[in-house]
Amino acid sequence: MFTRYFSLGRKILFSSLLLGTVVALLAGCFQLMIFHHKRAEQFDSIAHDLQKYLNNYFGELLTTIDKLQPLTLSHCENVAAELTSRAAFSLNVRAFLLVDNGNAFCSSATGEMSVPMKQLVPQVDVTKALDLSILPGTPMMPQRAAFALWVRSPLLENRGVFTSINASLMPWILYSSRQNQFSGISVVANGIAVSTFSPNPQPVSMLREKPIRSAKIDGLPLTVNVYGDAWASENMQFSLLMGVMCGLLSGLLCYYVLSVRLRPGKEITSAIKRNQFYVVYQPVVEAENMQIRGVEVLMRWKHPTAGEIPPDAFINFAEAQQLIVPLTRHLFDLIAKDAPVLQRMLPPGAKLGINIAPAHLLADSFKQDLRDLSSMLPPNYFQLVLEITERDMLNQRQAVSLFEWLHHEGYEIAIDDFGTGHSALIYLERYSFDYLKIDRGFVNAIGTETVTSPVLDAVLSLARKMNIVTVAEGVETQEQASWLRQHGVNFMQGYWISRPLTLEKLLEAHAKPENYFTTG
Ligand code: C2E
Ligand code: CA
Ligand code: CA
């Protein structure tokens, strides 16, 4: 479970960046969608309002025109006054013209007349029941655009009413000036548009933009268009800002949570506080007589969720997290706590083998930590043996001076896992140490590989010649034990003798005389 923490810093950074980016994208898009939706709603409501306004206006106008239709039967002089007053009371109407047989014979503005409609307003088709067009101007107001509306009488053949209406978009421009999300309006009849883009009517094809909303006016060939951008740049900027802020915040929060709150190193520190570490002791016996001469102290972690975590995993992990020093100090405390019980079981001078991680050897506090341990143990009872693997051996000069200091202070040194490193034999000559712990790989090979195990044989005879005391690790069978004894191994350790035991189990084993090893 701990290998995942090894490139921790990078993983945390990567996760935070990933989360930040995802959140930034999501928040930005979400904000943009909200803006977009709001904008769409506003466009809908503007188009709807304009359509409603025009429907009402032209609805009323058509009702007025219906009322004017019977006047086309009368002489102009008889109806001119009524025509004029109707025009005066109809909003935006410039003039009503009564038409008989294609001839305009009465105007609300100028009274009696006689001009063919074809000549007067060629844009409208009086043969149709209803026609609507847009004119650049009318005789009275030549510069101001006007709607030209022709309505044929439904009952009286060849008669009808023509109306010219102001096509100024002023009220809508005023309206639009309050709504900054759209850029313009146009009203289109017969392919001609009056718009807020130009003072004069122009063909629809000349309008620059495509409308974002269009609405038809009831009963008339008239369309009102709204123009604008579906996406506003200020909304995009705001969404971007929002996304960046949310991303940054969540990235930082993630970084904080992962690196500060859930920092894996914290697991070790909190496991120390919660007393999740404990120690087991594996007896080391003298090969000659199977008498227990000491124990190797091995640490265990009972994790509340992950269960028992093997030391190979958490020791490396603690080293990677720079937590090996506090962890070893904790180990020292645990040993000191057990020491009075151990003292009752083990003979005076019994060896306590303690594994020392290389990072701890190099730590400034190492010497003081050892002195603290010694001071916590019963005085002059145990012999501390520091187990250091040859793999992790320090550079030569450091090692020589450290070994000297250790010996001077009364500690013994064991080279652990001997045979698993590369330059094993060089160490035998170079360093003064007390025990050689032969790796269980060699011991395993006894009786399987070759009958004689020549390498182990050579190592043991060399050690004997150099007066180095040997400890065989991982002795699992009686066959191995006999072989090792015959070849002059001094001490043995392994499952055949005893598994690593908790203090209670060690006490039980001590009480039972049928054990392989004896504690007397
Ligand atoms: P190690 O120092 O070589 O410890 C001996 C390992 O061999 C122990 O494993 C022990 O349980 C196991 N062992 C003993 N007899 C036999 C046997 O007959 N057969 C087999 N197959 N295995 C046997 P453990 O306790 O899992 O520890 C593994 C390693 O973790 C240790 O190897 C040591 O390097 C490290 N370690 C354990 N406790 C500590 C500690 O307190 N501090 C430090 N720095 N390292 C520790
Ligand atoms: Ca060891
Ligand atoms: Ca070992």
Q: Please work out whether the CB of residue 355 comes within 6 Å of at least one atom of ligand 1.
A: yes
Ligand 3 centroid to Cα of residue 354, in Å, is: 11
- Residue pLDDT, tens place only, 266-290: 788 889 999 999 999 999 999 999 9
User: Which residue's CA is minimally distant from atom 15 of ligand 1?
Assistant: 494
> 185-221: buried (b, 16+ CB within 10 Å) or exposed (e) per residue?
bbbbbbebbbbbbeeebbebeebeeebbbebebeebe
Which has the minimum average pLDDT: 263-267, 410-414, 448-452, 484-488? 448-452
- Residue pLDDT, tens place only, 327-345: 999 999 999 999 999 999 9
Q: Is residue 62 one of the residues assigned to a domain?
A: no
Q: Please work out whether the CB of residue 223 comes within 6 Å of at least one atom of ligand 1.
A: no
DSSP string of 272-324, one letter each residue: HHTT-EEEEEEEEEETTT-BEEEEEEEEEEEETTTEEEPHHHHHHHHHHTT-H
Residue 92, sorted as left (phi over 0), alpha (psi -120 to 50) or beta, turns out to be left
Q: Please work out whether the CB of residue 440 comes within 6 Å of at least one atom of ligand 1.
A: yes
**For residues 461-473, average pLDDT:** 90
SS3 annotation, 160-217: EEEEEEECCCHHHHHHHHHCCCCCEEEEEECCEEEECCEEEEEEHHHCCCCCCEEEEC
Domain CATH for 117: 3.30.450.20
Q: How far apart are CA 370 and CA 376, in angstroms?
A: 10
Q: Name the amino acid, one letter, at 440.
A: R
Q: Do residue 392 and residue 474 come from a single domain? A: yes
Q: Please work out whether the CB of residue 153 comes within 6 Å of at least one atom of ligand 1.
A: no
Ligand 2 centroid to Cα of residue 362, in Å, is: 18
Residue-level pLDDT at 421 = 66
Residue-level pLDDT at 46 = 86
Q: Please work out whether the CB of residue 494 comes within 6 Å of at least one atom of ligand 1.
A: yes
**For residues 244-265, average pLDDT:** 84
Q: What angle, rounded to 10 degrees, do the helices at 503-511 and 324-345 form? A: 20
Q: How far apart are CA 303 and CA 180, in angstroms?
A: 64
Q: Do residue 157 and residue 175 come from a single domain? A: no
Element (H, E) at 226: strand 222-227
- Residue pLDDT, tens place only, 479-503: 999 999 999 999 999 999 999 999 9
Q: 315 φ, ψ to 5°?
A: -65, -50
Ligand 1 centroid to Cα of residue 450, in Å, is: 26
Q: Is residue 17 one of the residues assigned to a domain?
A: no
Given a cut of 80, is residue 397 above it in pLDDT? no
Q: Do residue 92 and residue 50 come from a single domain? A: no
Which has the minimum average pLDDT: 32-41, 155-164, 328-337, 440-449? 440-449
Q: What residues are neighbours of ligand 3 (ion), with CB under 5 Å?
A: 416-417, 473
Q: Do residue 121 and residue 77 come from a single domain? A: yes
Residue-level pLDDT at 17 = 94
Domain CATH for 293: 3.20.20.450
Parent domain of 52: 40-56+169-227
Hey, what are 258's tokens?
């992962």
Which of 30-34's residues contact partners 24+ apart within 8 Å by CB, and which partners? Answer: 31/238, 31/239, 31/242, 31/243, 32/231, 32/235, 32/236, 32/239
> Band of the pLDDT at 264, cuts 50, 70, 90?
low
Do 352 and 294 contact (CB within 8 A), yes or no? Answer: yes
Which of 88-92, 258-262, 380-384 is the most confident on average? 380-384
Q: What residues are neighbours of ligand 2 (ion), with CB under 5 Å?
A: 355, 387, 416
Look at the chain and report how many structural domains it folds into. 3
Q: Please work out whether the CB of residue 500 comes within 6 Å of at least one atom of ligand 1.
A: yes
Q: Do residue 52 and residue 84 come from a single domain? A: no
Element (H, E) at 336: helix 324-345
**For residues 418-432, average pLDDT:** 72
* CA within 13 Å, CB half, 304: 8
Q: How far apart are CA 193 and CA 456, in angstroms?
A: 104
- Residue pLDDT, tens place only, 91-141: 889 999 999 999 999 999 999 999 999 999 999 999 999 999 999 988 888
- Point out the ligand 1 atom lying closest to the alpha carbon of residue 437: 3
Q: Do residue 151 and residue 196 come from a single domain? A: no
- What count of other Cβ atoms lies within 10 Å of the Cβ of residue 503? 17
Residue-level pLDDT at 182 = 75
Q: Do residue 205 and residue 105 come from a single domain? A: no
- Point out the ligand 1 atom lying closest to the alpha carbon of residue 495: 18
> Band of the pLDDT at 391, cuts 50, 70, 90?
low
Ligand 1 centroid to Cα of residue 456, in Å, is: 20
Residue-level pLDDT at 261 = 63
Which of 76, 219, 220 shows the shortest CA–CA distance to 134? 220
Do 112 and 76 contact (CB within 8 A), yes or no? Answer: yes
Kindly state the DSSP code that residue 259 receives in the 8-state scheme: I
Query: Is the dihedral angle over the CA atoms 128, 129, 134, 136 positive or is it negative?
Result: positive
Residues 6+ apart with CB under 8 A from 32: 231, 235, 236, 239
Q: Do residue 439 and residue 406 come from a single domain? A: yes
Q: Is residue 252 one of the residues assigned to a domain?
A: no
Q: Name the amino acid, one letter, at 87.
A: A
| pTM, 2 dp | 0.59
Q: Do residue 392 and residue 379 come from a single domain? A: yes
Q: Is residue 286 one of the residues assigned to a domain?
A: yes
User: Which residue's CA is minimally distant from atom 8 of ligand 1?
Assistant: 298
Q: Please work out whether the CB of residue 419 comes within 6 Å of at least one atom of ligand 1.
A: no
Q: Is residue 115 one of the residues assigned to a domain?
A: yes
Q: Is residue 328 one of the residues assigned to a domain?
A: yes
Q: How far apart are CA 192 and CA 301, in angstroms?
A: 87
Given a cut of 70, is residue 394 above it in pLDDT? no
Q: Do residue 504 and residue 360 come from a single domain? A: yes
Q: Do residue 300 and residue 160 come from a single domain? A: no
Q: How far apart are CA 211 and CA 187, in angstroms?
A: 11
Domain end call among 146, 166, 186: 166
Q: Do residue 367 and residue 291 come from a single domain? A: yes
Residue-level pLDDT at 140 = 82
Q: Please work out whether the CB of residue 391 comes within 6 Å of at least one atom of ligand 1.
A: no
User: Which residue's CA is minimally distant from atom 17 of ligand 1?
Assistant: 474
Q: Is residue 238 one of the residues assigned to a domain?
A: no
Q: Is residue 250 one of the residues assigned to a domain?
A: no
